[in-house]
Amino acid sequence: MLTLGIETSCDDTSVALLENNKNLRCFLVASQLKDHETFGGVVPELASRKHLENLIPLLSQLLDECEIKNPPREIHLIAVTDGPGLMGSLLIGTTAAKALAQAWEVPLIAVNHLEGHIFSNYLAHDDLLPPFITLIISGGHTELILVRSFGDYKLLGATRDDAVGEAFDKVARLLGLGYPGGPMIEKMARGGDPFAIPLPVPMADSPSIEFSFSGLKTAVLWALKRNPNLRVEDVCASFQRAAIEALLRKVDLAVKITGISKVAISGGVAANSWLREKIEGKSWHAYLPPIELCTDNAAMIAAAGYNAYKRGERSPLSFVPDPSKSLA
Ligand code: KG4
Ligand code: ZN
């Protein structure tokens, strides 16, 4: 059974074809990084215009590459992200998906983008079955979720303010490193001392599972104001150390509270090499997707959609995307 996945929730246009639950036939991403770079962040109006330009050519390329000659006969299901995300961006993907579902007479599944991130790990690891804990860390989200079974999620904790990826992006902007900030900070941090600047680990002493990154960003700003001659490499390394430590301490806490020691980490920040190094010594077992599945992609949406379809879910053509859709 072939599922077509479509993802347009933020600034990446992506399409994928998935055979059954895990066999990824092909997937493509049209990145808009170059378009948003000059503005230092994603410009919503520009993002939706670019999705509009990119989606149909990308879909044609996917069908060509997968040698799909007769889509209505060969594609059996369409899965599309319906939130959370930018409304204009979501509308492009969902409208295209609805039109194709109607024209091809195939069922449609609206997929929560966060559930998609959970399935990026499922695609990569055969032994990842619920119950497990998942940490979703991206430009828009920092959430710890208990996956009781697929389709049954419980929010354990989230950020009070900025998402961790957003903090990477904002600190990079302070340092004039460009957008997106995460990969730039990671690169600069390689030449720095993670303990050069005594930045606090946010929420370190709080007994609850919650995150906060806006104070850490402000601490970086004050450190730079006090000493403008700080080495950029040291600032990056110290910020990265504190931000990743904040994430991992709360994973430790979630493992302790739930007694579950399988932890699936996904989202753009899961690509971070310092994070990947630091989980090595943990008592819990970490699952991470390959780098190309960490950031937004339609493969994970197809996988989540296929699973939902097998659980009996169907979405009517009348569904409306929800920019602040929650998972649990
Ligand atoms: O999952 P994603 O592609 O899109 C959202 O749903 O937000 O995540 C993008 C975020 C950006 O904030 C970016 O700076 C961050 O992930 N990111 C990283 C790294 N690669 C991407 N953060 C830290 N280290 C990285 N290597
Ligand atoms: Zn995402």
Q: Is the CB of 271 under 6 A from ligand 1?
A: yes
pLDDT for 44 beyond 90: yes
Q: Which of 319, 241, 275, 286 is nearest to 81 (CA)?
A: 319
Domain boundary assignment for the chain: 2-117+294-310, 129-290
Tell me the average pLDDT across 216-223: 97
Going from the Cα of 133 to the center of ligand 2, the distance in angstroms, rounded, reads 17
Q: Which of 235, 243, 226, 227 is nearest to 196 (CA)?
A: 235
Q: Which CATH class is domain 129-290?
A: alpha beta
Give CA–CA dist 170/85, Å, rounded.
19
Q: What does pTM read for this prediction? A: 0.94
Structural fold of domain 2-117+294-310: Nucleotidyltransferase; domain 5 (3.30.420)
Q: Across the beta sheet with 108-112, what order do the strands follow?
A: 23-31, 12-19, 2-7, 77-83, 108-112
Query: Taking a C-beta distance cutoff of 8 angstroms, is the pair 14, 26 a contact?
Result: no
The pLDDT value given to residue 225? 96
Q: Is the CB of 183 under 6 A from ligand 1?
A: yes
* pLDDT band at residue 166 under the 50/70/90 scheme: very high
Q: Look up tokens 């197809």; give the residue.
A: 302
Nearest ligand, measured from the Cα of 163: 1
The pLDDT value given to residue 300? 97
Q: Is the CB of 140 under 6 A from ligand 1?
A: yes
Nearest ligand, measured from the Cα of 81: 2
Quick check: do 2-117+294-310 and 129-290 share a fold? yes
Please state, rounded to an integer, the average pLDDT across all residues of the chain: 96
